[in-house]
């Protein structure tokens, strides 16, 4: 059945992130049959490899000069502002410490500060490359190899039509799903891709399966970004994708 009960979905997402938190504390790279997460936490090595995949794509899609300009503009933040704020708020500030800083690990704190800077300062034409298929998919494959997977532990495939495109993620591709979740990523129509969230979606299907569904599935819409297409193209794609998904479940 196609469920729109957001309370139930919210509980499943909560379970997913609780499992992720437990994974970090246990220092394990994968879960056994009682968990939902598939890969271990993102590491500093993962961040370095992500940048290795990102750099040539930035040069190819944005250009060498704009890429260098963006890096130079970011240097004051990374060399001065970030380390000063990071050290002060984590270890020198004794009161009124931000809630996230109190609860996050140093690595989580560092990454979130970088992400906040990126969303506030990096132009969309550069930001969209960070989330693109050309960067996200090789990075996911590296993450899987690092955790011992030569192929995806959960089935997924691309779905492309003249009206819309997306990614199917499901437990068993040979049977009709009994649960389908329709997923549309954020990004204000200007950045993001379904591929960037694919690791999360693979884990989500695992959690849905553990929650009692026989063959859960997720269809992640990969709508066309601006300026490749303008409004209302994205709305039309979302509607066509939804109509398609409505025809999929067994009931």
Mean pLDDT computed over 134-148: 96
Task: Let me know if 180 is exposed, middle or buried by CB neighbors in 10 A (0-12, 13-18, 19+).
Answer: buried
Task: Indicate if the pLDDT at residue 153 is higher than 90.
Answer: yes
Task: Indicate if the pLDDT at residue 170 is higher than 80.
Answer: yes
Tally DSSP H helices, then E strands, for the chain. 10, 4
Task: Indicate if the pLDDT at residue 26 is higher than 90.
Answer: no
**Minimal CA–CA distance to 195: which of 135, 246, 249, 122?**
135
Beta strand 179-184 pairing with 155-160: unpaired
Rg (CA), the chain: 20
Sheet architecture: strand order including 216-221:
155-160, 165-170, 216-221, 179-184
User: What pTM was estimated for this model as a whole?
Assistant: 0.82
Q: Angle between the 64-76 and 106-121 helix axes, to the nearest 10 degrees?
A: 120
Cβ 127 vs Cβ 70: under 8 Å = no
Residue 14 region by backbone torsions, left for phi larger than 0, else alpha for psi between -120 and 50, else beta: alpha
Task: Indicate if the pLDDT at residue 32 is higher than 50.
Answer: no
Cβ 128 vs Cβ 203: under 8 Å = no
């Amino acid at each position: 059945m196609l469920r729109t009960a957001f309370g139930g979905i919210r509980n499943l997402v909560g379970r997913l992130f609780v499992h992720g938190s437990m994974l970090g504390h246990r220092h394990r790279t994968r879960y056994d049959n009682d968990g939902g997460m598939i890969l271990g936490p993102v590491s500093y090595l993962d961040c370095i490899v992500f940048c290795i995949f990102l750099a040539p794509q930035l040069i190819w899609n944005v250009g060498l000069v704009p890429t260098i300009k963006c890096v130079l503009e970011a240097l004051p933040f990374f060399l001065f502002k970030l380390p000063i704020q990071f050290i002060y708020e984590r270890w020198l500030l004794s009161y009124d410490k931000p809630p996230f800083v109190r609860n996050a690990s140093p690595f989580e704190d560092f990454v979130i500060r970088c992400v906040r800077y990126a969303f506030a300062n990096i132009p969309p034409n550069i930001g969209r490359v960070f989330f693109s298929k050309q960067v996200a998919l090789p990075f996911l494959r590296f993450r899987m190899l690092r955790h011992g997977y030569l192929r995806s532990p959960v089935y997924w495939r691309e779905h492309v039509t003249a009206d819309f495109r997306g990614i199917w993620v499901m437990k068993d591709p040979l049977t009709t799903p009994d649960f389908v979740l329709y997923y549309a990523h954020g990004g204000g129509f200007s950045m993001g891709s379904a591929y960037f969230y694919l690791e999360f979606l693979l884990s989500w299907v695992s959690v849905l399966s553990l929650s009692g569904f026989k063959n859960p599935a997720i269809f992640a819409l990969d709508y066309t970004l601006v300026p490749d297409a303008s409004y209302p193209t994205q709305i039309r794609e979302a509607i066509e994708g939804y109509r398609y998904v409505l025809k999929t479940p067994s009931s």
